[in-house]
Structure 1
């Protein structure tokens, strides 16, 4: 993938995931909305092409881009960021070749992570590639502000905190977020524990990523993110080993559901850790 491919890559990604949402829509669910603004996706992918060019690929047919895969390598962990084939062309072998090309970027990495949609075809492909699939729990809805506890020991994070944030990421994932902090910061504000025992990126509407050394710190960070929420709030990547997050979410009167999977190879589900959907 080159930077010249990124705009069409965004179009394919948006079309593919919208088509999947339409296919998996349940009875009574609202009509899915195609990604309305791809600017953040484009900015993130341009960064990935710059930092991890060998992990970012496109597939072409008759001179047109028909599929994309982006991935990153961070020390001991390889992460698949985005993987999509133009609607109508799935099942033709394009996806298998794209995934194989992207995985070469992680050659020798003992760990691998990906965040998978609820697409059963994708789940089968990832399972065949050696990934154990751990269901995502989702917590979503308006926060019951009467349930919010008093939280202390936290402060706003800065770029000066990134070194110890990366050490915490190494503990959980085997690799830091490193150059991905800029993308995470674009998605949400950084709040950290004053004793450097945990951090979270969150916007007023969703949790981006949360990591801590102990559950008590993780709970405080999630409560703080909920306290800053405006309207409906979403924490969409909660694995079963992070039951503490379910406790907090249900106490705040969020709605619990399931959707998609965390795919892991060579590692157990990290905890206390709630991953980002793209940068993990």
Structure 2
């Protein structure tokens, strides 16, 4: 096995996607739509450019990619965006070697965040790395607008001119702003922003049914943002929101009102910090 830095090239971005598809085939057997492929490629390219010491790929003796890791550092907050090992290489120490490189990259950081599946090996590795494991829930199902109360205040579409506000919210909730990550998020998702006397907050979502990221300074604003995002989707659209720790009961309440199902959904693994709230993490940008 050879470990090498991930290059910000189309070929390496596709190698990351191929390994990811091979690693999680049991969890998601659906064909990847073009939008998902593009998001995956863009994440690999962005992080390889911004965090070259945190992004690695493992190759076998024939030069074929068998594993990858993507890690980032933003203002002292380290995040593990992806750790994937193809089925044929699992159990051979590839994941451990990749995680070691990612952890070395974040050694000087006070805080760390990982959104993990419930795979036993992953959970064991993240706990051994010093993370506290916070069981998470997911919301899934068809959204029903009729069950949602009208938002209790204004929500506006956001753009790059609001990134300073977003960074301010992130510093308060997770200890570090995302900076250029917001450019990538805005490339693929719609942005909603609240900013009034009650506080500030934002939400990235897809009209196709995904809640990608939500952060706010109060539960009231978080409820307003999530409600507005769900109302911005077609009635009956398939919705998914993941990474909801026990502190996010406000999100559970909104999801249940919208007719969504609540189920167990992996862990949010944190080091040096308590679960941010109110907050719905991004699996890719944490």
TM-score when scaled to structure 2? Answer: 0.90
Runs of 4+ in 1 over 6 A off after TM superposition: none
Structure 1 match to 2:231: 227
Give the Cα–Cα distance (whole angstroms) in 2 for the partners of residues 274 and 265 of structure 1.
17
Distance in 2 between the 1:67 and 1:206 partners?
27
Distance 2:243 2:31 in 1: 21
* 1:247 is the counterpart of 2:246: no
CA distance in 1, matches of 2:188, 2:212: 7
TM superposition shift of 1:36: 4.2
1:132 paired residue number: 132
The CA distance in 2 between the partners of 1:90 and 1:126, in whole Å, is: 16
Gapped runs of 5+ residues in structure 2?
1-5
Q: TM-score normalized by structure 1?
A: 0.92
* Aligned residues between the structures: 270
In the other structure, the counterpart of 1:180 is 181
CA RMSD of aligned residues (A): 1.4
Quote the residue 1:191 is aligned against.
192
Secondary structure at 2:139 match in 1:
strand
Q: Is the 8 A contact 1:15 1:34 kept in 2?
A: no
Say whether 1:170 aligns with 2:171.
yes
| 1:2-58 Cα deviation digits (max 9, x unpaired) | 124221121001111114x27xxxxxxxxx325344222011210111111111011
| Runs of at least 5 residues in structure 1 that lack an aligned partner in the other structure | 23-31
Q: Is the CA contact 1:145–1:227 (under 8 Å) kept in the aligned structure 2?
A: yes
- Specify the alignment match of 2:210 in structure 1: 206
Aligned mates of 2:20, 2:49 — CA distance in 1: 19
| Alpha carbons 1:116, 1:122 under 8 Å: kept | yes
CA contact (8 A) 2:160 2:183 kept: no
